[in-house]
Structure 1
Amino acid sequence: MFDRHREWEALGRFATDQAPGATLGVVTGRRRQGKTFLLRALCQATGGFYFAAEEATDAESLRSIGAAIAEHLDAPAPLAFDGWNQAIDALLALGRDRPLPVVIDEFPYLARANPRLPSVIQNALAPLRAERDGSRTRLLLCGSAMSFMGQLLSGNAPLRGRAGLELVVPTLDHQLAAQFWGVDDPVTALKVNAIVGGTPAYRREFARDDTPADPADFDPWVLRTVLSPTSPLFREARYLLADEPALQDTALYHSVLAAIAHGNAGRGGIASYLGRKSSDLAHPLNVLEDCGLITREPDVFKENRSTFRIAEPLVTFYHAVMRPIWSDLEHTRDAHRLWQRAQQRFAGNVLGPHLEHLCRHWSRHFAPEDLFGDHPNRVGSGTVNDPSARTTHELDVAVFGLDDDNRAPLLAIGEVKWGDVMGIGHLERLARIRALLTAQGRHGAESARLVCFSAAGFTDELRSRAAADGGIVLVGAADFYR
């Protein structure tokens, strides 16, 4: 088990809780994050019961869980249930003598075949019910369909208020991902992270532990794994969409993702790319957001404006690099030539946006405590109007604090470049934006630090200026991994 200490401890506390009465827990997260591994390990360590649901009819699923319970109990024959009321009570009976984890993995498959199942579980766990009060079963429902699992405990859902554990298993952050992939060179680590993100299974099962040996091996590694039709990674981005039951019109959702991957982050740009009205996009954007495939990021300076970002790096890579040349990739014997021709798209549509997001995440959660003069409370991006020049400046990073008066002073503003060596010109642009924000009366803007983020480095002149001025901060690729 790599990392996952917090998740393992939370599951252990829940599974061994000695309190009387059956309790419910929900475990979710995107596919390939290790949820099943954790839950199987939990059941093996405690003697618990594990059942992996399959896409099947309701009757077949009842037969399957009856057989699984009988095997767990060493019964001579499978248990036969007339409905899920009996099956859930049988699961509660497993924990009569001691706290016992009972896992139903891929729960959305069962609920899709029988939409009443969450209500059945709600009734089974009702207070003062003998089967519930006499049991110490720790029932864990697990699933990767984010749109379904996200609604399981929300609003007026039957199970709202019933769960004693709600655990989201996240992807590995960029630092843990670099350790997991065994990549020491920071620029190579950033490139790998921009393609496969922090999904553990992509190294173990999908790439079979094939990792870039050094910076020179990065391009050959891409050709061996992500761009090879014989590799599971080759089609994984497509399967991620197919696995979400809420995505009915997959062609539309692929087009929306393609629009975002090609730099159309705003609603208007996405609509223009698709040839549709902005008002037509509310539903597909909301569905993709509910599925965890995109995130909505508000403009920190304009409340009525937001942009969209693809949350899964492999999906971005697929739409920006692979989808435009999909047929060629499937049939060519010279993928190296195709990969070389895709370098501009890779740098502009994959590496650049990924680094911008990583800089914001790093500034919020990993930056040294005193780097911005105070603890960052909020980090985002935004646009700043420049009336005199009749233009608008895009700001990649804006760092806000939180003072004793509950105000959010601006601590720092930053610009991000992937392939450009940053110099005095970039610093002057940030100084101009700071002056505009100061003139607009933005709290803390006059003393906000100017931050240059670059994976390619900085000119000697800029380094000299930063060494002499504590209000100038330079962040290079190596800093993200310290």
Structure 2
Amino acid sequence: MFKGRKKELELLEDLYDSKQFEFLVLYGRRRVGKTELLKEFTKNKKPLFFSAQEKNDSLNLLDFSKTVQTYFDNDFFGEFSDWETALKYVTSKATEDRLVIVIDEFPYIASENKSIKSIFQHTIDHQWKEKNIFLVLCGSSVSFMEGEVLGSKSPLYGRSTAHLELKAFDYFDSALFFPEYSNEEKLMAYGILGGIPCYLQAFDSEKPIEKNIAREILREGRFLKDEPIYFLKQELREPAIYNSIFEAIAGGASRVNEIATKIHEDTQKCSKYLGILQTISLIKKAVPCGEDEASRKTIYKIADNYFSFWYHFLFEKKSFYEILGSEESAKEIMDPQSFFSYFGFVFETICLEYMIRMAKNRKLPFIPSKYGKWWGNNPARKCQDDIDVLLIDDKNEKYIFCECKFKGESFGKSEMEDMLSRKSIFAHAKETYFYAFSKSGFSDYVKENASSNNITLVTVDDLFEFGEL
């Protein structure tokens, strides 16, 4: 069953209901659910749907010829001589009724035919602009779609009437895939699989997480077992280097020079590869919240939860786990001490996603313009310190400090005092607020003193108490 994507479907329906030509550029990393979104949108319509493949231009043109002729005439009378002729045929068949044309995996065509973008541009300008047509060009190559389709140097620049980068689900929408799990288990499943629908569908919420790990991740033959390696091989030209970058970051390297040293590559070259991984949302660049993007404190993290989980637990121990067996290996991975240590960083991301949802629902004291993790010097404690999640208003006057704890003990007095002490880092703040997140609840002391210290207490169940945006 199709899940989530409410706003994305609303956008598609709005474009469909338009009485004029519309051109949507839809893109996002592989397996993020672009094709499923288009299928859901068109399930009660009659789209001209063509999915290009990794083959030469002549064969894709032949497939397109068969698709459009069968669509309009319920017959195939022969391959068109070129793409211009094929698109003119589509124009000749367009009526006053709304025609949806979906070209999936457009980069496969464009990589083999350098003139295809100009052909579509000419067709749009001279044939389709006055037609009742809704065109969708879809692709998994984010850099190609942004640069070669939407970019200012592209022949198609300025022709699209809308564009949409399909992102991975956050923790809240990912939970839709696990109706039988407790809220804590939903968070843990998200921490393992991330927000890619194809990954989320692999787990059966009627089975314990440990069993799902053994069956769907560790068992030979399951697609998740070596998915990160296969993904890198399919999407990138030098998978070995990218694989080494993930290994280095999972092993604790976070700055460019640290990563470059670990993988024995030049720093400039390493920066280039990190940039490419950012475009496909596998790596994220981070600076302390409120600081400039060019900050010297810049670090890099693995953005995709499944890649983070896989490189953290499976990469180095792959051979050991194969000997140990899937059941015992899953048990070792899910040992609370080991798993909670990994999950602490994921929990911070979940808490930030919660705060963003709260802001969109107008349930925070102010609308933040900057948000994320902060790290640096704490003058009051005279040491390096960090803030799990920090949110700042557009005037740098209002601050929300968040402390996120995913562990077996309740959030106690010492954690509360640590959190409160961090407001001295931003002594100029005119208003300060605090949010404490805890897997295991809060001590009586914290509960009794929260209100007087402007602290909002958030449990795991609270993370799911508001509806869809």
TM-score, scaled to structure 1: 0.86
Aligned to 1:397: 389
Aligned to 2:397: 409
1:177 and 2:168 equivalent? Answer: no
Q: Deviations over 1:38-66 (max 9, x none)?
A: 32344442222111111111111111111
Tell me the SS of whatever aligns to 2:374: strand
Tell me the SS of whatever aligns to 2:450: helix
Contact 2:372 2:390 (8 Å CA) reproduced: yes
Aligned to 1:348: 341
Residue 360 (structure 1) aligned to one of 352, 372, 375: 352
Structure 2 distance, partners of 1:307, 1:212, is 39
The offset of 1:371, in angstroms, is: 6.7
- The residue type paired with residue 160 of structure 2 is A
- The residue type paired with residue 4 of structure 1 is R
Residue 284 (structure 1) aligned to one of 252, 273, 290: 273
Alpha carbons of structure 1 residues 366 and 107: separation in structure 2 relative to 1, 3 Å:
same
1:475 and 2:458 equivalent? Answer: yes
- The residue type paired with residue 212 of structure 2 is W
Contact 1:172 1:198 (8 Å CA) reproduced: yes
Q: Deviations over 1:113-165 (max 9, x none)?
A: 22332222122222xx2x23553332211112222223220232222211012
Residue 440 (structure 2) aligned to one of 456, 466, 469: 456
Residue 192 (structure 1) aligned to one of 186, 189, 193: 189
Q: Deviations over 1:323-342 (max 9, x none)?
A: 1122344x436223333444
1:14 and 2:15 equivalent? Answer: yes
Aligned to 2:213: 222
Alpha carbons of structure 1 residues 159 and 466: separation in structure 2 relative to 1, 3 Å:
same
Aligned to 1:251: 240
Structure 2 distance, partners of 1:272, 1:336, is 36
Aligned to 2:413: 424
Determine what percentage of the aligned residue pairs are the same residue: 24
Q: Deviations over 1:250-289 (max 9, x none)?
A: 1111121222333433334323432445433220011111
Contact 1:373 1:411 (8 Å CA) reproduced: no
1:315 and 2:304 equivalent? Answer: no
Alpha carbons of structure 1 residues 76 and 478: separation in structure 2 relative to 1, 3 Å:
closer
- The residue type paired with residue 132 of structure 1 is W
Structure 2 distance, partners of 1:164, 1:316, is 36
Alpha carbons of structure 1 residues 377 and 59: separation in structure 2 relative to 1, 3 Å:
same
Q: Deviations over 1:358-393 (max 9, x none)?
A: 111211223697875333333211123135755211
Structure 2 distance, partners of 1:50, 1:165, is 19
Alpha carbons of structure 1 residues 433 and 12: separation in structure 2 relative to 1, 3 Å:
closer
Structure 2 distance, partners of 1:265, 1:182, is 36
Tell me the SS of whatever aligns to 1:202: helix
* Structure 2 runs not aligned, ≥5 long: none
Alpha carbons of structure 1 residues 132 and 221: separation in structure 2 relative to 1, 3 Å:
closer
Tell me the SS of whatever aligns to 2:317: helix
**1:117-156 to 2 correspondence within 5 Å?**
117-126=116-125, 129=126, 131-133=127-129, 135-151=131-147, 152-156=149-153
Tell me the SS of whatever aligns to 2:404: strand
Structure 1 distance, partners of 2:129, 2:461, is 55
Tell me the SS of whatever aligns to 1:115: coil
Contact 1:93 1:137 (8 Å CA) reproduced: no
Contact 1:321 1:346 (8 Å CA) reproduced: no
Residue 327 (structure 2) aligned to one of 330, 336, 342: 336
Tell me the SS of whatever aligns to 2:195: coil
RMSD of the alignment, in Å?
Answer: 2.6
The number of residue pairs the alignment matches comes to 457
Alpha carbons of structure 1 residues 118 and 301: separation in structure 2 relative to 1, 3 Å:
same
* Structure 1 runs not aligned, ≥5 long: none
- The residue type paired with residue 431 of structure 1 is L
The offset of 1:179, in angstroms, is: 2.6
Structure 1 distance, partners of 2:361, 2:81, is 60
Contact 2:28 2:280 (8 Å CA) reproduced: no
Alpha carbons of structure 1 residues 353 and 241: separation in structure 2 relative to 1, 3 Å:
same
Q: Deviations over 1:148-193 (max 9, x none)?
A: 2232202322222110121233333322221332144121111001
1:85 and 2:72 equivalent? Answer: no
TM-score, scaled to structure 2: 0.89
- The residue type paired with residue 11 of structure 1 is L
**1:225-240 to 2 correspondence within 5 Å?**
225-240=216-231
Contact 1:451 1:474 (8 Å CA) reproduced: yes
Contact 2:215 2:326 (8 Å CA) reproduced: no
- The residue type paired with residue 310 of structure 2 is Y
1:57 and 2:45 equivalent? Answer: no
Alpha carbons of structure 1 residues 115 and 291: separation in structure 2 relative to 1, 3 Å:
farther
Contact 2:194 2:200 (8 Å CA) reproduced: no
Structure 1 distance, partners of 2:92, 2:305, is 43
Tell me the SS of whatever aligns to 2:196: coil
Tell me the SS of whatever aligns to 2:289: coil
Runs of 4+ residues over 6 Å off in structure 1: 367-371
Aligned to 1:27: 26
Contact 1:385 1:392 (8 Å CA) reproduced: yes
Aligned to 1:465: 449
Aligned to 1:261: 250
Structure 2 distance, partners of 1:327, 1:187, is 30
Structure 2 distance, partners of 1:345, 1:91, is 58
Structure 2 distance, partners of 1:41, 1:389, is 54
